[in-house]
Structure 1
Amino acid sequence: MPTGAEATRGIGLVVAGYLVITLADAAVKWVLPEIGAAAAMICRGVIGGAVLLAITRGRGIFPRDRWLLTRRSLAHCCVSASWYWAWANGMPLGDSYAVACLTPLLMTLLAIPMLGETVGWRRMTSTAVGFCGVLVMLNPGGDLWRFETAVLLVATCIMAVTRIWTRVLSRTDTPAAIAFWLMAAHIPMGLALLPVFPPPQAGLPGAGIIAALLIFGAANAVAHLLFSRAFALAPVSVLAPYDYTPFLYGIGIGFAVWSEVPAWSTLAGATLVIAAGIYNLHRERVRRAAERA
């Protein structure tokens, strides 16, 4: 059972991690028209892996649960490719994060078969309300009524699985190993996707693009190191409410950089999803307290 100080540190780390990863996402969204999704994945793996090796000096990067770590890393690469492809096709940052708000609700459902957890009628009802929020966001003719949203919904399901696997891996592997092998997996996956997502522009990128890629790769390395450490310090029920902070960050950055303003249906639907997720977390804490009592 973590102490109050450990839980507080975990919250601080996860909040910082989400801010850093949002800045990294904004950087890659800016460079995607120049380099494409596959090259972005390769840069993330090379730069992020190098930064992690420099930070950790190679200590703690050797995995223990190799099979689960491999599955988690490759699955997360599929999530990255989906988001980069959607951004390259012009999907706003805030809209994509609105879809990602579904992740905690999916984790509630997936914890039943994957972790053997039980979910009562209250949490099942609030989860159903959250899925109604998704239907509001998918208002026919609205901003999210597009093919990219369907791809991101599938990617969000995969992301929920990787989050649960991260929780499991935190019991056996170090934050450095979890973060490093995730970065490393992006290199072969990016190379494999190069024929599918070739760079739109021929030749070497300019100095501004290279600077953005360096920020992107380094920020991803730092963010995932923070996430892994946070999950090792505090339980998911404490950290999960902060899953929604990227949505707020994304709206602000999207407006500041690209003048993106989410539609009313996106905001209304995301509000329902977030409210349902927070209620589920409340019920989870109540259930844990009853078990301890």
Structure 2
Amino acid sequence: MRGIALVALAYFVISGTDAAVKWALPEVGTAMAMIWRGVIGAGCVALLARGRGLFPRDRRLLAARSLLHTAVSGAWYWAWAQGMPLADSYAVAATAPLLMTVLAVPMLAERVGWRRWTATLVGFGGVLVMLQPSGDLWRIETPVLLVAVAAMAVTRIWTRVLARSDTPAAIAFWLMVAHVPVGLALLPVFPPPSGAWVPSLGAAAALTAFGAANALAHVLFGRAFALAPVSVLAPFEYSPLLWGGVLGFLIWAEVPSWTTLGGAAIVVAAGLYTLHRERVRRAAARQEAAARAAPRG
């Protein structure tokens, strides 16, 4: 229950930080947003942890996860800078739990039954509904985000693996640190659209709040994945659809099309069924293990 509460709070915070950075992106651009996130976020994590537990143990996996996640961040910021609504981007992100099911086979040597494969195929059918030419998601940003979501699903699995060896503070801290050199490397490609290298007071305030809250959210993610299995926490991957829809409407008057909403509903339903089958499978495995361990009279 603590893991569920922490991950639900983390997704709420993440939705707010996404709205803040999307608001600032027309002025600062993708690369500067990544740098601000890294500097402010790393500093906040270090303060929250009081400098303890930041030294990584599984250095290779932590470095790989951090660098891969910076690519995910860059793809999202670029899509929002192009004008993609929050709710539309979150609808694409709803495919992450389905992708985690697919990736669990090669990465965790997990067996997936025909029911979960069927639910996964139905879910990707929902993606096709969202991507039909008459829908709002028929745009160049969508395939980029789909690749980013696949990478994000990998980082979710790696977070669970890292939670066995590293502290939530270490996982969040080195993720934030990785954003700084990657953002600096991307500056020549994505300079500030406004031409001003020093953001305005409003943009600086939004980016500071974004970096601090994002750091807090990733600490919460790390702790949540250490307390509860991925299959229990994965349904909350869909909560940003609600928060993104509300924030997008209130700030930018964004209203998703029926194809986006309908396709997202299919994806969410398929994902929830997949998670239900995962729980059934785990319960059966526990019962079988208990039966084998029971003394025979």
Superposed pair shares fold, TM > 0.5: yes
Distance 1:202 1:90 in 2: 19
- CA shift at 1:207, angstroms? 1.1
- Structure 2 regions of 5+ residues with no counterpart? 288-297
**What amino acid sits opposite 2:231 in the alignment?**
S
Q: Which residue is equivalent to 1:3?
A: none
**What amino acid sits opposite 1:139 in the alignment?**
Q
Q: Which residue is equivalent to 2:24?
A: 31
Distance 2:66 2:266 in 1: 30
Q: Percent identity?
A: 69
Q: Which residue is equivalent to 1:4?
A: none
- CA shift at 1:194, angstroms? 0.6
Distance 1:228 1:277 in 2: 22
**What amino acid sits opposite 2:39 in the alignment?**
V
Q: Alignment length, in residue pairs? A: 286
Distance 2:191 2:95 in 1: 30
Deviations 1:186-221 (A, max 9, x none): 000100111111111233222111110111000110
Deviations 1:104-150 (A, max 9, x none): 00000000000000000000000000000000000113210000001
Is it true that 1:82 corresponds to 2:75 in the alignment?
yes
Kindly report which structure 2 residues correspond to 1:133-152, keeping only aligned pairs within 5 A, or say none. Answer: 133-152=126-145
Kindly report which structure 2 residues correspond to 1:199-214, keeping only aligned pairs within 5 A, or say none. Answer: 199-203=192-196, 204-214=198-208
**What amino acid sits opposite 1:111 in the alignment?**
A
**What amino acid sits opposite 2:242 in the alignment?**
L
Kindly report which structure 2 residues correspond to 1:187-202, keeping only aligned pairs within 5 A, or say none. Answer: 187-202=180-195
Q: Which residue is equivalent to 2:229?
A: 235
Is it true that 1:96 corresponds to 2:96 in the alignment?
no
Q: Which residue is equivalent to 1:254?
A: 248
TM-score (norm 1): 0.97
- CA shift at 1:236, angstroms? 1.0
Deviations 1:237-282 (A, max 9, x none): 1111111001110000000000000000000000000000000100
Q: CA RMSD in A?
A: 0.6
Kindly report which structure 2 residues correspond to 1:3-22, keeping only aligned pairs within 5 A, or say none. Answer: 8-22=1-15
Q: Which residue is equivalent to 1:5?
A: none
Q: Which residue is equivalent to 2:269?
A: 275
Distance 1:255 1:60 in 2: 40
Distance 1:191 1:201 in 2: 17
TM-score (norm 2): 0.96
- Structure 1 regions of 5+ residues with no counterpart? 1-7
Q: Look at both structures and tell me which one has the larger radius of gyration over its CA atoms.
A: 2
Q: Which residue is equivalent to 2:216?
A: 222
Distance 1:131 1:237 in 2: 19
Q: Which residue is equivalent to 2:98?
A: 105
